[in-house]
Structure 1
């Protein structure tokens, strides 16, 4: 008989094809205990399922992980659905998981999911309805078991963060029959107190059965209708209940709820001191800035002071005066010199000077100069001007 020699890749590919084509292995449901659990940064989950005798490697891709409503962990018994195939590169077969649920809790989870969908449709989870958590609540109502670890954690956190905060503890059942009604009464009681600013509903971790009272529809509606903001700190980080979706804020643990609701007195005081320093520095800088601006304005005024300007102008006036005096003297001297020349010229041509030589000027009564005998013979009264004055003379004409 002829036997064909295959490569490793050939044989792995053949085994993978065989597994993929198997009807049962292509769509199977497997239950077992989770071990070697690893939640990769890529969003994929890697783990093994085991029982008393065997184990199988499993992988759940991110797209399937996002549909989970709980976080699996080592030791947890689960039921997974998926297909079995071969990882050719390593020659290892593994279970590729598409769904997962805790074993023995299927009915509760179905009820949880059903109620969650109904309330979400009614709008009880709407973010727009959620009330703002007060930053500086002075009085906080806490609904929890008076003997559980949750109340101790909340008290310890409150004492550490702010000893001045007043906590009102409403003792309530937090599991079992009547627990939901107890919690509702606590909410109603705190809503009737005007000075209570915030309500915390808290409980430590537990199984889904132990936390089931927090999945009550009536409780969810009361939480939704509460006039006071509510923080829920129920279970551990992986535990989600209906009231977590309805409340104004969900904390992963009771301690975290107290951390959120109770403001740190030390941080508050430090914030005030920071504001004080900031205000002081702001005022100081403003005053210094105003001082510098005032000094600048003062200096500007001093430079542009009218008195300084006037004093400077006195000097300019003196200079102008000196210049004017000089110009006037020069002008006067020039005019004097010119006038002297004109005077000398006038004196040289003055007709009166000729009188000093014995000549005279004869004028009629109308001050007309008589320059001929003919004109003189026609006049009877004349003025004769000589060097020492003028004399009026009457003429007597003789006939020849």
Structure 2
């Protein structure tokens, strides 16, 4: 071949190689080990411990596992599909935290500013001193420092959780007309947050880690600062840029049939159907709240999503804030969110960032999840984690409350790492 023709041939090969899409990473999952995930989830379905589930694993931005099991509704026996939509509950918190960080990057707030600057009701906050179980009356003592936005992001403000928190906070919340924010779609977020501010804190801000309604307050903060509803902010600043088409507070009519049923369990700890309303510590919650036209946007737990949609959000975080050319956060913000922010305080994780639990070296030894991975889950038996070392994101959705067989989430984690090539 003449030198000119040889040069042209080499150039053509280079162009073709550059245009070839990246090879699928499915071979990075060991088939035999991946089959064990199938067997695990199917076992829980066959034993009637769960109705069904969807699971997804992505490695280096490629889907290596995405399957559905069982049924979306044991009453109708509809087969579960990977595009079924689940109530993600507290997995909403990571998205709300991301919204706060977007506003931080725009110079519209600072993490150590007092929340009362934006929500004046918190200027009169006090700390619980004594509580009377007989009539739910209480006395308070002065707060030593103001609640900051960082306190809310790290669950160190002292705000408790209505319905699922301590017995004392549950009683105070019930008396104040405060709900857990899920299943009460016709209430006002502004009104609820103002009522939260009137309930005494369980401890001084920054003194302890207490899981509470902090992220619902942050949702209201986003509304005040952005001058948009939380739903509109999420849609325009996070969901649409990432291509998350199935993540909503309240589903459009054409998506409502894809919402999975929320299941419960009977006295034998077998999965069962659930009534239209769920009683949680004396509060009636609407089970199918995503299928109504609600107005309360719970930043702490109100969203629904699919496994794939939420994986897009996780992949953005793994990519240090961007996905498919769309930047949501800067690498610096992602670093802040995924670095321990609570010092020596015990959170159950030993480390907690801005909206995420962080896997410590000690916790890494338990299941094999890499140190520095970050995660959370949802009350309706869902879990996710993001592992920067292994470059994986993974998610398991079930939608059941309660679920006495929640150990499936830990088993799923073990099997995912066992399947990595």
Report TM bin, short chain.
Answer: under 0.3
TM-score, normalising length: structure 2: 0.21
Greater length-normalized contact order (CA 8 Å, ≥ 6 residues apart): 2
Larger Rg: 1
TM-score, normalising length: structure 1: 0.22
